[in-house]
DNA sequence: CAGCTGACAATAA
DNA sequence: GTTATTGCCAGCT
């Protein structure tokens, strides 16, 4: 495909914005949709640079293991947890998400 | 121009 | 089962 890195951000924003409510996507999962299976870090880095103006549900993007992203990202550790809980995401006793129930695949 | 960093993931010990 | 290390892509310094 023609534009790859040019619209990498846009591509990530689009995928993240397509995550349905009550579901979560892994960084590596999104990277895989983009065609970059090893671009897990790049996806996360794109989120960090993603402006709030996009209203991207970054809280729906978590690690492949089901762990939430580092707390310092949202400012407080319970922010993402509360958001996902409000969305209908179920957490395990470890505080990780049930990827088997909420793992979203494009 | 070259090297480093960063919201990860997978493999090895 | 847990911990440590390496690999990946794109943007910055």
Residue boundaries of the structural domains of chain A: 5-102
pLDDT means per 10 residues in chain A (106 residues)? 64 93 95 91 92 90 92 84 94 92 91
Give strand C nucleotides closer than 7 A to any protein Cβ: 7-12
CA pair distance A104, A26, nearest whole angstrom: 8
| pLDDT at A104 (0 to 100) | 95
Among residues A16, A33, A47, A58, the one annotated as catalytic is A58
Nucleotide B9 C1' to residue A71 CA (A)? 19
| pLDDT at A71 (0 to 100) | 81
| pLDDT at A70 (0 to 100) | 84
CATH of domain A5-102: 1.10.10.10
B6: residue with closest CA to C1': A45
| pLDDT at A91 (0 to 100) | 94
| pLDDT at A2 (0 to 100) | 44
Neighbours of A105 (CB within 10 A): 9
A58 is catalytic: yes
| pLDDT at A5 (0 to 100) | 53
pTM for the whole structure: 0.90
Nucleotide B13 C1' to residue A65 CA (A)? 21
């Amino acid at each position: 495909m023609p534009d790859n890195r040019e619209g990498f951000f846009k591509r990530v924003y689009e995928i993240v914005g397509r995550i349905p409510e009550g579901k979560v996507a892994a960084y590596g999962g999104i990277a895989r949709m983009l065609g970059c299976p090893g671009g897990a870090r790049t996806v996360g880095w794109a989120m960090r640079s993603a402006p709030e103006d996009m209203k991207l549900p970054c809280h729906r993007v978590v690690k492949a293991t089901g762990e939430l992203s580092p707390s310092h990202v949202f400012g407080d550790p319970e922010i993402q947890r509360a958001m996902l809980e409000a969305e209908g995401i179920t957490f395990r006793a470890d505080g990780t998400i049930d990827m088997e129930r909420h793992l979203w695949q494009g």
